[in-house]
Amino acid sequence: MTKTLFEPYTLGSLTLSNRIIMAPLTRNRAGPGFVPGDLTAEYYGQRASAGLLISEATQISQQGQGYQDTPGIYSQAQIEGWRKVTSAVHAKGGRIFVQLWHVGRVSHIDLQENGAAPVAPSAIRAKTKTFVNDGFIDVSEPRALKLHELPGIVDDFRKAAANAVAAGFDGVEVHGANGYLLDQFAKDGANVRTDAYGGSIENRARLMLEITAAVVEEIGAERTGIRISPVSPANGVSSSDAQAQFDYIVDQLDALGIVYIHVVEGATGGPRDATPFDFGSLRRRFGNTYIANNGYDLELATSHLTEDKADLFAFGRPFIGNPDLVERLQTGAPLAQINPATIYGGGAAGYTDYPAIAAASRR
């Protein structure tokens, strides 16, 4: 039988209505206390026809924040704010995971407690910018994390996973991609440590794997996924041994039994083939669900599904302007274009005011 993107799919104990995933999309619209509000609940509820929604990256602590007005999941008020979001999605029959985030060195002193330096595996400043004080500016100089601090970060992820379940999420996605903390540890361009978390492939993978194992222990493997980006140069990271590094990482993730890996294939938001890499190797090494991400449209996703290169396919920016993206893809309706000026920050404009095709046709 021919597989299609629009058929149900079993993900762990969940039945997804289709194989189309809404990728995490940072929108910088959290309210005071970094709490998601009613507008956020409306936004995700509008997009609940995706097989699975993965929330915007959500910091596990204040130290883990790297951009202004991004939501957290470490306070009771934040848990209650997210509960409105999950309720809105579930009311429409949707499923939603939260993406748990620590940005590491991709931050600014204005976002850190008492103006402290951001933390990183090594004191190497990222060649990238962050969004703070209503504009994009260079990140601050980081300090290297001390060995005794790492168990605390593992515990922050564990607590965040427990908070996610309390908030009604169907599961969590550990953010191990795009040049943030766990990716910084994994890649030798950002990690020059000489202790148990640096040097060898196994050591550089250690923090990512310890955190994933802690989340599994807290909420179960069938509720735990992870996002990785083996060759993406996002936020200034680089790796001299990406294939060996991520083959090893995926072997260990498979052993943990987590429900999915979510793989950014190529450069995040850029070329899929910028750096040679065998993503098929990751697919073969991982026994559960493989979510493919980066530059997918209906044609490419259909082709890769037919060729069994992936199980599920994540779409990012198209979901911003098309809350009913699944229906548009299924019916061949044209896709709305997004307004780049309203992606980050602001209110309803460019967030919840993009109409569904049925509403648009009545105008």
Catalytically annotated residues: 180
Compute the chain's Rg from CA coordinates.
Answer: 19
Q: CA-CA distance, 246 to 248, in Å (whole number)?
A: 5
How far lies 99's CA from each of 7, 71, 176, in Å? 25, 11, 10
Taking alpha carbons only, the member of 94, 82, 87, 86 closest to residue 11 is 94
The residue behind tokens 């140069």 is: 233
DSSP string, 109-121: GGGSGGGPPPEES
Count the neighbouring beta carbons within 10 Å of the beta carbon of residue 283: 17
Q: CA-CA distance, 8 to 59, in Å (whole number)?
A: 31
Q: CA-CA distance, 174 to 285, in Å (whole number)?
A: 19
Sequence-distant (≥ 6) Cβ neighbours of residue 194 within 8 angstroms: none
Count the neighbouring beta carbons within 10 Å of the beta carbon of residue 326: 23
Q: CA-CA distance, 298 to 348, in Å (whole number)?
A: 28
Task: Tell me the one-letter amino acid at 309.
Answer: K
Q: CA-CA distance, 90 to 88, in Å (whole number)?
A: 6
Element holding 79 (H helix, E strand): helix 76-91
Taking alpha carbons only, the member of 158, 136, 211, 135 closest to residue 180 is 211
DSSP state, residue 223: G
As given in the structure block, the two tokens for residue 158 are: 């564990």
